[in-house]
């Protein structure tokens, strides 16, 4: 007897009455996110090794500061618009099929307008003293990515609002692979310099923009219409998310912001290598974090909280295992992949990975409140992270450099999680023990969802009557 496992999950975590049928099974989406994340991480890792070995620590530090402008500072300038598009799209408040081109024009305009002020800030040291040392031509080259990067952020939220995670993942994988191919070809012909590194990054972004347009036109079927009445509506929710977004992203990369002003390019280049390798701790939970948000956004509060506790149990299990393994092999791994010039990145990994365990857990707490439509709750979490980290950065970085920054970041991530859990415990009576130790019923629900994925279905032979007894409402 075949079992509709999605129906069972919906009975245990009921959808609200306004929700349309999800396009993808949650586990299918999570697996797609996970596999694509590892592919992207692998391609970016190889690309990063090619760039780091070719540029050396000093130019690697300059390149990392330029990437920070696109990855961190630039998304702030949408003022939460993309987040509002995702939220209202999921809840069917805005019909994104008729709205898409209206938002597209607005986001493109923002991407063009922000280039001159960002160029000025980079030349005057406002985006880091390291960026101020970079040639203006290369600054202009990296800023040419701005319109494409913002359009990708907007289009990704549109795809996610239709639960099309595999499409969003596909274009990111293709973009990363294209950048890697460019670096390999360049390395075979000559040596990768800073200009080559930026061009490879730009090609990947432009190709992703093209793929996004293909997906929304051909798969979603956006219409050639305008919805000027709703052009600013995403900001109604997005502006509330925006403050939280700035605080959360800045908190997660506050060390990078501070170090671009305090360190020389060589030390910063070594630090970014350690942080990049450490990031694999969060890959598994990151794969289902956005899926978790979508599921929370369409469920009632009590069911969302139970789903949160189960997600945290998996999160702590995954991140702890990866962090321990990574810390053990840190030094030989860095020297083998990047060379002895980056050897100090090994200690950065050892000091940084414990904090990433709690960072991933805090992110799940943030997704819970965001999915419940209360994003400002999360601002307090990140304010606590800022408040704790700042004195440690001031105290430790001048004395211990990149090692002090890594240790201070771990302390800040732990403080952010502790406060986020205190909020949830106080409001929803979730106990700390509920977040640790994967339970039998968690594995049963995971099995139920894996059975919906054809490639895994043949591995399970659980009778239908056994599955129907499964409950995670205890």
3-state secondary structure the chain: CCCCHHHHHHHHCCECCCCCCCCCCHHHHHHHHHHHHHHHHHHHHHHHHHHHHHHHHHHHHHHHHHHHHHHHHHHHCCCCHHHHHHHHHHCCCCCHHHHHHHHHHHHHHHHHHCHHHHHHHHHCCCCCHHHHCCCHHHHHHHHCCHHHHHHHHHHHHHHHHCCCHHHHHHHHHHHHHHHHHHHHHHHHHCCCCHHHHHHHHHHHHHHHHHHHHHHHHHHHCCCCCCCHHHCCCHHHHHHHHHHHHHHHHHHHCHHHHHHHHHCCHHHHHHHHHHHHHHHHHHHHHHHHHHHHHHHHHCECHHHHHHHHHHHHHHHHHHHHHHHHHHHHCHHHHHHHHHCHHHCCHHHHHHHHHHHHHHHHHHHHHHHHHHHCCCCHHHHHHHHHHHHHHHHHHHHHHHHHCHHHHHHHHHHHHHHHHHHHHHHHHHHHCCCHHHHCCCCHHHHHHHHHHHCCCHHHHCCCCCCHHHHHCCCCCC
- Kindly state whether residue 466 falls inside one of the protein's structural domains: no
- Kindly state whether residue 463 falls inside one of the protein's structural domains: no
Query: 437 — alpha (psi -120 to 50), left (phi > 0) or beta?
Result: left
- Kindly state whether residue 112 falls inside one of the protein's structural domains: yes
Q: Determine the pLDDT at residue 386.
A: 76
Give CA–CA dist 129/196, Å, rounded.
22
Range of the domain at 182: 5-456
- Kindly state whether residue 462 falls inside one of the protein's structural domains: no
Q: Determine the pLDDT at residue 330.
A: 93
Q: Determine the pLDDT at residue 442.
A: 67
Q: Determine the pLDDT at residue 352.
A: 93
- The reported pTM is 0.73
Cβ-in-10-Å burial (0-12, 13-18, 19+) of 126 comes to middle
* CB-facing half-sphere around the CA of 201: CA atoms within 13 A: 25
**Residue closest to 338 by CA, chosen among 275, 287, 390:** 275
pLDDT per residue as tens digits for the range 5-58: 444 344 444 444 433 443 455 556 556 666 766 777 788 888 889 999 999 999
Q: Per the structure block, which two tokens stand in for 406?
A: 């890594």
Give the residues of the chain that fall short of pLDDT 70.
1-34, 36-37, 244, 248, 251-252, 283, 287-291, 293-294, 296-298, 375-379, 442, 445-474
- Kindly state whether residue 110 falls inside one of the protein's structural domains: yes
Q: Per the structure block, which two tokens stand in for 472?
A: 């995670």
Give CA–CA dist 208/68, Å, rounded.
19
Give CA–CA dist 141/137, Å, rounded.
6
Please state the φ and ψ torsions of residue 448, each to the nearest 5 degrees.
-60, -40
**Residue closest to 48 by CA, chosen among 244, 183, 238:** 183
Q: How many domains does the chain have?
A: 1
Q: Determine the pLDDT at residue 25.
A: 56
Please state the φ and ψ torsions of residue 20, each to the nearest 5 degrees.
-80, 165
- Kindly state whether residue 339 falls inside one of the protein's structural domains: yes
- Kindly state whether residue 392 falls inside one of the protein's structural domains: yes
Q: Determine the pLDDT at residue 138.
A: 93
Q: Which residues on adjacent β-strands are paired with residue 299?
A: 15
- Kindly state whether residue 464 falls inside one of the protein's structural domains: no
**Residue closest to 106 by CA, chosen among 143, 74, 151, 152:** 151
How many residues belong to the chain?
Answer: 474
**Residue closest to 45 by CA, chosen among 183, 209, 208:** 183
Q: Which residues on adjacent β-strands are paired with residue 15?
A: 299
């Amino acid at each position: 007897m075949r079992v509709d496992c999605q129906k069972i999950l919906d009975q245990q975590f009921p959808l609200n009455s306004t929700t349309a049928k999800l396009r993808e099974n949650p586990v299918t989406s999570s697996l797609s996110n996970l596999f694509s994340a590892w592919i992207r991480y692998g391609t970016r890792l190889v690309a990063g090794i090619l760039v780091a070995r070719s540029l050396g620590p000093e130019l690697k530090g300059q390149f990392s500061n330029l990437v920070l402008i696109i990855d961190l500072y630039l998304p702030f300038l949408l003022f939460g618009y993309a987040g509002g598009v995702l939220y209202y799209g999921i809840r069917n408040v805005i019909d994104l099929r008729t709205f898409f081109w209206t938002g597209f024009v607005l986001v493109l305009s923002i991407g063009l307008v922000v280039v001159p002020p960002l160029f000025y800030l980079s030349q005057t040291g406002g985006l880091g003293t390291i960026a101020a040392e970079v040639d203006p031509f290369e600054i202009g080259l990296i800023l040419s990515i701005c319109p494409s990067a913002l359009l990708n952020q907007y289009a990704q939220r549109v795809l996610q609002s239709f639960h099309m995670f595999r499409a969003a993942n596909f274009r990111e994988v293709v973009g990363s692979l294209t950048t890697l191919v460019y670096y390999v070809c360049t390395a075979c012909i000559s040596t990768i310099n800073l200009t080559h590194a930026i061009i490879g990054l730009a090609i990947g972004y432009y190709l992703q923009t093209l793929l996004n347009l293909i997906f929304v036109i051909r798969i979603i079927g956006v219409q050639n219409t305008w919805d000027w009445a709703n052009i600013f509506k995403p900001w109604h929710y997005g502006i509330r998310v925006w403050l939280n977004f700035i605080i959360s992203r800045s908190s997660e990369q506050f060390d990078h912001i501070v170090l671009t002003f305090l360190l020389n390019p060589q030390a910063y280049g070594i630090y970014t290598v350690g942080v990049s390798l450490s990031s694999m701790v969060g890959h598994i939970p990151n794969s289902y974090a956005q899926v978790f948000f979508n599921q929370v956004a369409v469920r009632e509060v009590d069911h969302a909280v139970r789903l949160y506790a189960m997600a945290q149990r998996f999160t702590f299990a995954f991140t702890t295992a990866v962090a321990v393994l990574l810390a053990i092999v840190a030094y030989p791994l860095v020297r083998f992949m990047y060379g002895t010039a980056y050897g100090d990145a090994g200690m950065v990994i050892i000091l940084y990975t414990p904090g990433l365990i709690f960072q991933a857990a805090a992110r799940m707490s943030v997704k819970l409140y965001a999915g419940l439509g209360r994003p400002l709750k999360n601002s307090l979490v990140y304010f606590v992270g800022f408040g704790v980290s700042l004195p440690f950065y001031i105290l430790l970085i001048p004395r211990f450099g990149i090692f002090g920054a890594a240790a201070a970041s771990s302390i800040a991530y732990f403080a952010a999680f502790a406060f986020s859990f205190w909020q949830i415990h106080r409001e929803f009576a979730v106990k700390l023990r509920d977040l640790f130790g994967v339970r039998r019923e968690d594995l049963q629900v995971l099995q139920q969802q894996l059975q919906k994925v054809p490639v895994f279905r043949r591995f399970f032979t659980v009778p239908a009557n056994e599955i129907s007894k499964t409950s995670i409402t205890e």
